[in-house]
Amino acid sequence: MTSEAMDCGRAAADGKIAAMKILVIEDDLEAAAYLMKAFREAGIVADHASDGEAGLFMGLENSYDVMVIDRMLPRRDGLSVIGELRRKGVNTPVLILSALGQVDDRVTGLRAGGDDYLPKPYAFSELLARVEVLGRRKGTPEQDMVYRVADLELDRLSHTARRAGKDLLLQPREFRLLEYLMKNAGQVVTRTMLLEHVWDYHFDPQTNVIDVHISRLRGKIEKPGSPALLKTIRGAGYMIKDGD
Amino acid sequence: MARFRLLFLSTAVRLSALFILIFALAAGALVLYVTAMSERLLIAEIRESLNQEVAAVQRAYERGGIGQLARVMDIRARQPGANLYIIAGPAGDMLAGNVASVAPGLFDKEGWTAEPFPYRRYQEENAKHPPRVAIARVVFLDNGMRILVGRDLAEPGALRFLVRRAIFVTVGAMGLGALLLWLFIGRNALKRIDRISDASKKIMAGDLAQRLPVSGSGDEFDRLSLSLNEMLERIGKLSEGLRQVSDNIAHDLKTPLTRLKNRATEALAAEEPDARRQSLEGILTEADQIIRTFDALLMISRVEAGSQAATLSDLDLSAIAADCVELYEPVAEEAGFRLDARIAPGIGIKGNRELIGQTLANLIDNAIKYADGDQADKTIRVNLAPGSGGGVELSVADQGRGIPADRRGDVLKRFVRLDESRSKPGTGLGLAMAEAVMALHGGTIALADTDPTNTDHPGLTVTLRF
């Protein structure tokens, strides 16, 4: 896990992520200590609060890029912390951690103002990838109609993609896969994140279904002679990026 | 004694006693009413006949004076069972009659005596005999003499006594009979309750195979025992299932935990950074598998508890099926299968998209994992069509080795995998979850041969009926 975290950290360290500052509200001190250490190794500055009230106070006083909030907290539960933050005009992206990792809970969590939801137990690589995507969200070119990575180009309006000026023949799902990867270019995207955003399912596909989709997409976008853009991040997921 | 107290405490006996009491009160009231009514009737009749007597006596007086009156009264007084006839002087002193003595002051007022009055007959003057009772009419004659004509009330009194005795005897006999019957029934019921409570004590002591006694008479005790026995049967099955599941959990977790430990030992011993890294990655994979197993277990129990029932909504099942086929097509192709989808468009159901999607994904995943072999036809068919019974049928059919008919029930159980060596990755929970999901949607899951004529590769068809 540590080696992975460093892997992701390395992958991220050369981006703007080094400056990311997050708040972790988690009452399990051991889990929190582990998270603090792992985030630090990944180049993220993390503050910790061990109960809902303290977390709310810190969230209102300081400015963070992302907050990671456990659902069940002493003194004030996670959803109420989020509700209060939103009411006070704090729109920092929030990732909810929950031991109740089921569909219903996800829906209530997101409805309460959370931006992403991760059931426990989770792999740190998964949490890190999601925090990074949330943290960058502010700067994400949501309105950009054309995404570009090196000579790979994706036009969201005309639903076309080109590599080195040549049109790529993509299936609708392949297009959405590429679109999500390029929207988060330079960031690790996990298999579950892909299943969530491209297929809108939240379960864990048992076999390597996503891998095969990726390898097909790779076969269509990577050309001999051009540098590989779609990279596999071992133990974490995938990333589209120019250079190494 | 304690038994007798128990008997008295029993509801049947207490209700019976109350019933007997109410019955006796009602019967008593009835007796009183009937006798009072018949007495009134009788007295009215007596008065009527006395009036006629008085009229006859008065006529005799008018015809022949006091002599004729005395003669007529004398004749009438001598008849057997005669009425009371008295001629008294103006001062109320008895002059003649067939009565020895009457209550004093009887002749002071003309007309009916207000109350039945006591009197004594001749030969009954001593105190040994109780005084008799009669009603009478007193008439004042124009010469100041008074006559009295009365009727002894021994007759109506006797009737009253007779009626009352008859009714009381009947009611008493009935009450006693009912009491005996109810005592018997209560005792019988108590005995059977004792047997039932003995059996339950044995069950509580841990003997779940014990059943409550059934007499075979089909009465309410039998009905109660039968339904309790059914409940015990179900509890027995559930606890057996629970035991099996925990055995399987222990077994299914022990294996990956052992591997986990081995990898950790390996990582500790590894000199090369690359080898250590590889061991650590192996540890991660094992841990992920354990987490996956627990997630699936939790999911099943939550689906079974029906906590997601509230989230059922209108779904396009055709779209879900198409999505799943599209999701698994590349994997299937990679494994050498052709995924053949025949999906009727626009089929809608009420359900949970996430759960149905996951279930279908599991079924396709199973087909890809377990249907491999040397068969000629490597097609996996996903069919969605309106069912014959008005519902919807979604099926996944492969051409693999299939599942023998006698093992089909087993594979729906948690952790049951036909692949004993557990060489393929998987939790052994896929079909158990599919069954739970179908139960949540009020549907069923059925396993069958795809092609029963093919002995080598009959294949497996899993049909979900909504």
DSSP state string for B276-290: HHHHHHHHHHHHHHH
Q: What DSSP element (H or E) covers A221?
A: helix A209-221
CA–CA gap between residue B103 and residue B105 (Å, rounded): 7
Q: What are the angstrom distances between the C-alpha of A139 and each of A17, A86, A136, A179, B301?
A: 12, 20, 5, 16, 42
Flag whether the pTM goes above 0.80. no
What average pLDDT does this structure show over B181-190? 77
Residues from B in contact with A at Cβ < 8 Å: 277, 280-281, 284, 288, 291-292, 295, 298-299, 302, 307-308, 310-311, 323, 326-328, 330-331, 334, 352, 354-355, 357-358, 361-362, 365, 368-369, 425-427, 430
B96's tokens:
């003649």
What average pLDDT does this structure show over B177-184? 78
What does the pLDDT look like over B325-334, one tens digit per residue? 989 988 888 8
The C-alpha R_g of chain A, in whole angstroms, comes to 18
Position B258 confidence tier, pLDDT thresholds 50, 70, 90: confident
B39's tokens:
């007495």
CA–CA gap between residue A70 and residue A33 (Å, rounded): 14
Average pLDDT of chain B, as a whole number = 81
Count of pairs with CB atoms under 8 A, one residue in A, one in B: 71
What average pLDDT does this structure show over B134-163? 78
CA–CA gap between residue A241 and residue A150 (Å, rounded): 8
**pLDDT computed for residue A17 by the predictor:** 42
Q: What are the angstrom distances between the C-alpha of B355 and each of A104, B31, B363?
A: 11, 77, 12
Hey, of B277, B290, B358, B372, which one would you mutate to test binding to chain A, going by the most A CBs within 10 A of its CB? B358
Cis-peptide, bond into residue B256, ω within 30° of zero: no
Q: What are the angstrom distances between the C-alpha of B179 and each of B2, B164, B171, B183, B190?
A: 19, 22, 12, 6, 16
The larger pLDDT score, comparing residue A121 to residue A13, is at A121
Position A13 confidence tier, pLDDT thresholds 50, 70, 90: very low
Q: B299 contacts in A (CB within 8 Å)?
A: 102
User: Would the pLDDT of A58 be above 80?
Assistant: yes
Q: A119 contacts in B (CB within 8 Å)?
A: 295
Position B12 confidence tier, pLDDT thresholds 50, 70, 90: low
CA–centroid distance for A200 within its chain: 15
Hey, of A102, A118, A174, A202, which one would you mutate to test binding to chain B, going by the most B CBs within 10 A of its CB? A102
The larger pLDDT score, comparing residue B452 to residue A140, is at B452
- A102 shares contact with chain B (CB less than 8 Å): yes
> Residue B430: closest CA among chain A residues belongs to which residue?
A206
Spell A124-137 as b/e; 16+ CB within 10 A means b. bbbbbbbbbbbbbb
Position A100 confidence tier, pLDDT thresholds 50, 70, 90: low
Q: Do B426 and A206 touch (CB under 8 A)?
A: yes
CA–CA gap between residue B453 and residue B448 (Å, rounded): 12
Contact between residue B384 and residue B394 where contact means Cβ atoms under 8 Å apart: yes
The DSSP line for A64-110 is -SEEEEESS-SSS-HHHHHHHHHHTT----EEEEES--SHHHHHHHH
How many helices (H) and strands (E) are present in chain A, helices listed first? 9, 12
Q: B323 contacts in A (CB within 8 Å)?
A: 199, 201
Distance from CA of A185 to the nearest CA of B (A): 23
The larger pLDDT score, comparing residue B216 to residue B424, is at B216
User: Would the pLDDT of B285 be above 70?
Assistant: yes
Please name every residue paired with A67 in a beta bridge, in sequence order, or none if there are none: A23, A94
Burial of B133 from C-beta contacts in 10 A (0-12 / 13-18 / 19+): middle
CA–CA gap between residue B135 and residue B54 (Å, rounded): 13
Question: Shortest CA distance to A118 belongs to which of A135, A136, A142, A94?
Answer: A94
Strands A66-70 and A94-98: parallel
CA–CA gap between residue A146 and residue A155 (Å, rounded): 4
Q: Do B331 and A209 touch (CB under 8 A)?
A: yes
**pLDDT computed for residue B233 by the predictor:** 87
Distance from CA of A143 to the nearest CA of B (A): 28
Domain parsing of chain B, residue ranges: 2-158, 211-305, 310-465
Cβ atoms < 10 Å from Cβ of B265: 11
A24's tokens:
């972790």
A227's tokens:
């540098």
> Residue B285: closest CA among chain A residues belongs to which residue?
A235
**pLDDT computed for residue A138 by the predictor:** 47
Q: Do B284 and A4 touch (CB under 8 A)?
A: yes
**pLDDT computed for residue B310 by the predictor:** 55
The C-alpha R_g of chain B, in whole angstroms, comes to 51
B214's tokens:
């059934």
B228's tokens:
């309790």
Q: Which CATH number fits domain B310-465: 3.40.50.300, 3.20.20.70, 3.40.50.2000, 3.30.565.10?
A: 3.30.565.10
B181's tokens:
């019957």
> Residue B352: closest CA among chain A residues belongs to which residue?
A103
The letter for the amino acid at B71 is R
Position B158 confidence tier, pLDDT thresholds 50, 70, 90: low
- A120 shares contact with chain B (CB less than 8 Å): no
CA–CA gap between residue A152 and residue A146 (Å, rounded): 10
> Residue B428: closest CA among chain A residues belongs to which residue?
A206
Question: Shortest CA distance to A240 belongs to which of A191, A187, A190, A198?
Answer: A187
Nearest to B284 among A103, A119, A235 (CB): A235
Give the contacts of A138 (CB within 8 A, at least 6 positions apart). Answer: A65, A93
Nearest to A102 among B281, B299, B357 (CB): B299
A26's tokens:
């988690």
The CATH code belonging to domain A146-240 is 1.10.10.10
Cβ atoms < 10 Å from Cβ of B1: 5
CA–CA gap between residue B349 and residue B248 (Å, rounded): 35
Q: Do B368 and A207 touch (CB under 8 A)?
A: yes
Position B38 confidence tier, pLDDT thresholds 50, 70, 90: confident
> What is the DSSP code (8-state) at residue B380?
E
In CATH terms, is domain A2-139 a member of 3.40.50.2300? yes
User: Would the pLDDT of A7 be above 60?
Assistant: no
Q: B364 contacts in A (CB within 8 Å)?
A: none
CA–CA gap between residue A33 and residue A48 (Å, rounded): 9
User: Would the pLDDT of A4 be above 60?
Assistant: no
Nearest to A3 among B280, B327, B427 (CB): B280
Q: What are the angstrom distances between the C-alpha of B334 and each of A215, A230, B198, B402?
A: 11, 20, 64, 21
- A226 shares contact with chain B (CB less than 8 Å): no
Residue ranges of chain A that CATH labels 3.40.50.2300 = 2-139
Q: A213 contacts in B (CB within 8 Å)?
A: 327, 330
Contact between residue B45 and residue B53 where contact means Cβ atoms under 8 Å apart: no
Q: Do A212 and B331 touch (CB under 8 A)?
A: yes
User: Would the pLDDT of B388 be above 80?
Assistant: no
Residue ranges of chain A that CATH labels 1.10.10.10 = 146-240
Q: Do B277 and A209 touch (CB under 8 A)?
A: no
Q: Quote the strand ranges of B11-116, DSSP E.
A: 84-88, 94-97, 101-102, 111-112
- Tell me the residues of chain A between 187 and 206 that have a Cβ less than 8 Å away from chain B: 199, 201-206
Q: Do B331 and A103 touch (CB under 8 A)?
A: no
Distance from CA of B245 to the nearest CA of A (A): 21
What does the pLDDT look like over A67-81, one tens digit per residue? 999 888 888 888 888
In CATH terms, is domain B2-158 a member of 3.30.450? yes
∠ CA B424-B425-B431, rounded to 5°? 95
**pLDDT computed for residue A12 by the predictor:** 44
> In which residue are the tokens 């939240």 written?
A202
Contact between residue B189 and residue B16 where contact means Cβ atoms under 8 Å apart: no
Query: Nearest 5°: phi and psi at B97?
Result: 150, 170
Q: Do B308 and A102 touch (CB under 8 A)?
A: yes
Distance from CA of A6 to the nearest CA of B (A): 13
**Comparing A51-65, A182-196, A211-225, B88-102, which segment has the lowest mean pLDDT?**
B88-102
Q: Which CATH number fits domain B211-305: 2.40.30.200, 2.40.50.100, 1.10.287.130, 3.30.200.20?
A: 1.10.287.130
